Amino acid sequence: MAGVTSSPLRRALVAPFTRRAWAELWYALVSFPLAVGAFAFSLVTLHNGIFLAGSAPALRRLGSANRYLVRRILAEDIPAPPPLRPYSVAHVRTPDADRLAALARAEGARVKQRGNRVTIGKLPANRIAELAADEHIVIHALNPGNKVGWYRGASRDPYTWKARGYFGMKPVIASIHLVVAVGFRLAGLFYLTYPLWQEFAGAGPGLGTGHPVPLAASFLFVPLGAALLLAAPWLTHGVSELDLMFVRAFLGPASDPAALAERVKNLEQARAHVVDDSAARLRSIERDLHDGAQAQLVALAMKLGLAKEKLEPSAPPDLTRIAQLVDDAHLSAIEAIAELRTLARGIHPAVLDNGLTDALTTLAARSGVPVELIADIPERPSAAIETIAYFSAAELLANVAKHSGARHATLEAVHVPGLLRIRVTDDGHGGASAAPGGGLRGLAERARTVDGRLDIDSPPGGPTVVTVELPSHA
Amino acid sequence: MLRIVIAEDAAVIRAGLSEVLADRGHEVIAAVGDAEALKAAVAEHKPDVAIIDVRMPPDQTDEGLRAAIAIRREHPATSILVFSQYVETRYAADLLRMRPGHGAGGVGYLLKDRVANVGEFTDAIARVAAGGTALDPEVVTGMLNGARHASTLATLTGRERDVLALMAEGRSNTAVAERLVVSERAVEKHISNIFSKLGLPPSDSDHRRVLAVLAYLGS
């Protein structure tokens, strides 16, 4: 690794004064108080129960403070770990309890099963829903604990534990760091100038002997001082690298290249779909305008134009004809208004401003088939999610009315922390599928753009259950 | 009285057009909703004028225009009036590129806004049916702005540009003079100036002049 052009001696002499050496010295100084504080905090909060959980956000913040120092001083950008996820203990009721329990166990969850009730710990609710949907397991109730789920999640959060581990040993590293970075330098300077101290300050301890040494002998300490000064940057660098390694391993995200590549692929597909989807939506809006309101307005203008001519004083006005033209124009205007209203609603339903529950109530009331609405949305998901949920529900209900032959449908909308589920059940003849180019496929792809999913359970003869699951926040 | 075929996919506009034309005493012998039906209707009825919406099923792009070009080729005696929602100078250029032979019908290209103006619309039909040209002022403006010979056009005075635009719409000298409130002599002078600046030999036919100018602008 030694360069051909720069001799090792030269590099050794320059090393103490490089920018990097100063940065590492600075880091050793600044991170020491953080190390002590964080160590004390992680120790004090190492209590089972509320302290353990409650300290999780703070510990993660300490971790990010440490990453911040590393980034600002050592110019090493270590990404943040994924955010704290509330791990719930979910209570699930399903006729397929055995299968769901087995699946959850295979995922490493803690599972308790009693009859058709399964209690699943250590697995996020949306993952449970995913598992069930993948295996066509019908879930009747999925109740993730709210606050309890958060505390459990926080006290088991792997990244908090890793941060705790890091800060547990950080004082050791930080102390060594401080000793080699600051102590070695100070001692080096001291011994390098030892004969001066000896001569002018009277006495000085000779390497811990406690006795003054003769002036001639004191020169023996000069090379020791030089050695300490020269060694300091290298040792500091070594400890810095060691610390960086720990920071990466304990305060950074777990890296799984395969999973990451898969994720990137999914995101790329989802993005492509978003782009196509929005272009297609714009096109269809343009077409709706062109075929609808614009055409109505052209017709309206033609009729009014004719009527205007008939009113010109050159000939006696044919009032019957004029009345009929104006009447036609009036109808065209009313139709244009209706077209525009429908179109505007298709772009953004104003009723959605009041929340999903109101919007879905309106939707259910307008449906061609009687719809029972079960909505449980204590907290509002983000606006984008609400919009997707609304249009999914609208499309699903439209499908029920158009294709299913159903006499009755149920629209469920349930929002639990992290997951919004829209489910439409109908008593029609079944056989629905996400055929390419079909409406259901479009819905599935739109859900996928926000990491949501769509599941269809529609055996021939019915009933049809279509479930759309979306994260609370896009 | 003219025998007219209408091709327009929006039923409301189709009905409106039929009504306006009937009001003017023309006979609408067929009103169809797509390009194939249009071609069949023209082949069957040999109408005096075909009024064609550019955008029609199945692709909603320029089916009407392509049908118009085909009709021009197969039934040159039928005059054609094409209309669309937006200014598409390319469409106008495509239409005008089809040089009519002797005794061929006229061509026109209007925006739907113009169609909605009953007077201008029936005027345009009359001009086209007489073998003339009817171009929407906005289309003309678009062509003038998009012309490759913009530098040459820049040498025209404002008044000359006005005259050129009106000529391009298919107006006669008299109409241009009326519109600009000048004498017919003055218009003739402007026109000969335009031709000399654009390097076009003067011609006696109103229609050919317009085509010459537009061919120059659009080519």
Residue A224 φ then ψ, to 5°: -60, -45
**What Cα–Cα distance (Å) separates residue A77 from each residue in A58, A71, A84, A160?**
21, 5, 20, 20
CATH superfamily ID and name for B3-135: Response regulator (3.40.50.2300)
Distance (Å) from the C-alpha of residue A346 to the closest C-alpha of chain B? 21
Which of A1-15, A310-324, A403-417, A420-434 bottoms out in mean pLDDT, i.e. has the lowest?
A1-15
pTM: 0.54
Percent residues over pLDDT 70 in chain A: 93
**Res. B107: pLDDT tops 70:** yes
Contact B112 A290 (CB under 8 A): no
* Average pLDDT of span A372-392: 90
What pLDDT does A3 receive?
43
The token pair that represents A147 in the structure block: 């606050």
In B84-143, the residues whose Cβ lies within 8 Å of chain A are 85, 112-113, 115-119
Q: What pLDDT does A313 receive? A: 80
Judging contacts by C-beta atoms under 8 Å, the chain B residues touching residue A308 are 118
Q: pLDDT, tens digit, for every residue of B139-148?
A: 777 776 665 5
Write the residue in A287, A291, A298 that is nearest to B112 by C-beta.
Answer: A298
B57, closest residue in chain A (CA to CA):
A291
Report whether A194 contacts A223 (CB < 8 A): no
Residue of A286, A297, A298, A321 to mutate, interface with B, max B Cβ within 10 Å: A298
Under DSSP, the state recorded for A140 is S
| B39, pLDDT greater than 90 | yes
Give me the residue from A290, A299, A301 closest to B15, CB to CB.
Answer: A299
Does CATH place domain A350-471 in 1.25.40.10? no
Q: pLDDT at position A435, please?
A: 78
| Domains A90-144 and A350-471 fall in the same CATH topology | no
Mean pLDDT of A293-306: 89
> Has residue A1 got a pLDDT over 50?
no
Over range B165-188, report the average pLDDT.
Answer: 85
Residue B135 main-chain phi, psi, to 5 deg:
-115, 140
A 291-310 → B contacts, CB under 8 A: 291, 294-299, 301-303, 305-306, 308-309
- Fold for domain A90-144? Alpha-Beta Plaits (3.30.70)
pLDDT higher than threshold 70 for residue B103: no
Q: A168 or A212, which is more confident?
A: A168
Residue A167 in this model has a pLDDT that exceeds 70? yes
Per the listing, tokens 């920018």 go with A19
pLDDT above 90 coverage of chain A, percent: 26
List the strands of the sheet with A110-114, edge to edge: A110-114, A117-121, A90-93, A141-144
Is B82 strand, coil or helix?
A: strand
pLDDT more than 70, % of chain B: 82
**A162 vs A220, more confident:** A162
CB atoms closer than 10 angstroms to residue A145: 20
Chain A residues with beta carbon closer than 8 angstroms to that of B60:
287
CB contact under 8 A, B17 and A302: yes
Cβ contacts from A onto B, under 8 A: 52
Partners of residue B16 in chain A, C-beta under 8 Å: 298-299, 302-303
* pLDDT greater at residue B188 or residue A197: B188
- Whether pLDDT at A179 is above 90: yes
* Nearest-CB residue to A302 (from B16, B60, B85): B16
- C-alpha to C-alpha distances, B180 to B140, B155, B171, B177, B190, nearest whole angstrom: 17, 20, 12, 5, 12
Reply yes or no on whether the pLDDT at A148 is more than 70: no
Cβ <8 Å between B20 and A302:
yes
All structural domains of chain A with their residue ranges: 8-81+157-251, 90-144, 257-347, 350-471
* pLDDT for position B213: 64
pLDDT band at B47 (very low <50, low <70, confident <90, very high): very high
Write down the domain spans for chain B: 3-135, 147-218
Determine the pLDDT at residue A29.
92
A223 pLDDT above the threshold of 80: yes
Q: Read off the pLDDT of residues A96-136 as tens digits, 9 standing for 90 and up.
A: 888 888 888 888 788 888 888 888 877 777 778 777 777 77
The CA distance from A283 to the nearest CA of chain B, in Å, is 11
- pLDDT tens digits along A435-456: 777 788 888 888 888 888 899 9
Summary mean pLDDT of chain A: 84
Contacts of B119 in chain A (CB under 8 A): 305, 309
- Please state, as a whole number, how many other Cβ atoms lie within 10 Å of the Cβ of residue A204: 18
- Distance CA(A23)–CA(A407), nearest Å, equals 74
Contacts of A290 in chain B (CB under 8 A): 55, 85
Closest to A305 (Cβ–Cβ): which among B10, B12, B117? B117
Under an 8 A CB cutoff, do B60 and A287 touch?
A: yes
Whether residue A302 contacts residue B16, with contact meaning beta carbons closer than 8 Å, is answered with yes
pLDDT digits (tens, 9 = 90+) for A324-354: 999 999 998 998 998 898 888 888 888 888 8
Whole-number Å distance between alpha carbons of A195 and A215 = 6
Least confident piece of the model among A338-342, A429-433, B215-219 = B215-219
Cα A421 to the center of its chain, rounded Å:
18
Q: Residue A313 has what DSSP assignment?
A: T
> What pLDDT, on a 0 to 100 scale, did the predictor assign at position A2?
41
What percentage of chain B's residues is helix, strand, coil (to nearest 5)?
55, 15, 30
Is the pLDDT reported for residue B219 higher than 60?
no
Q: Which range is least confidently modeled, A33-47, A78-92, A139-153, B118-132?
A: A139-153
CATH annotation of B147-218: 1.10.10.10
Distance from CA of B116 to the nearest CA of A (A): 5
Q: What is the mean pLDDT of residues B103-114?
A: 82
Please report the pLDDT score of residue A40 as a whole number: 92
What's the CA angle centered on A308, arms B115 and B50, to 5 degrees? 25
Dist. CA A336–CA A331, nearest whole Å: 9
Compute and round to an integer the Cα radius of gyration of chain B: 17
Q: Pick the closest to residue B6 from B64, B52, B47 (CA basis).
A: B52
> Using the beta-carbon criterion (under 8 Å), do B117 and A287 form an inter-chain contact?
no
A316 or A464, which is more confident: A464
**pLDDT surpasses 70 at A72:** yes
Task: From A191, B49, A140, B191, select the one nearest B200 (Cα to Cα).
Answer: B191
Residue A435 Cα, gap to closest chain B Cα (Å): 22
Q: Which residues contact A357 (CB under 8 A, 6 or more apart)?
A: A375, A377, A413
Q: Which residue has the higher pLDDT, B66 or A254?
A: B66
Res A27: pLDDT = 93
Examine the pLDDT at B44 and tell me if it is beyond 80.
yes
B16 contact A CB<8A: yes
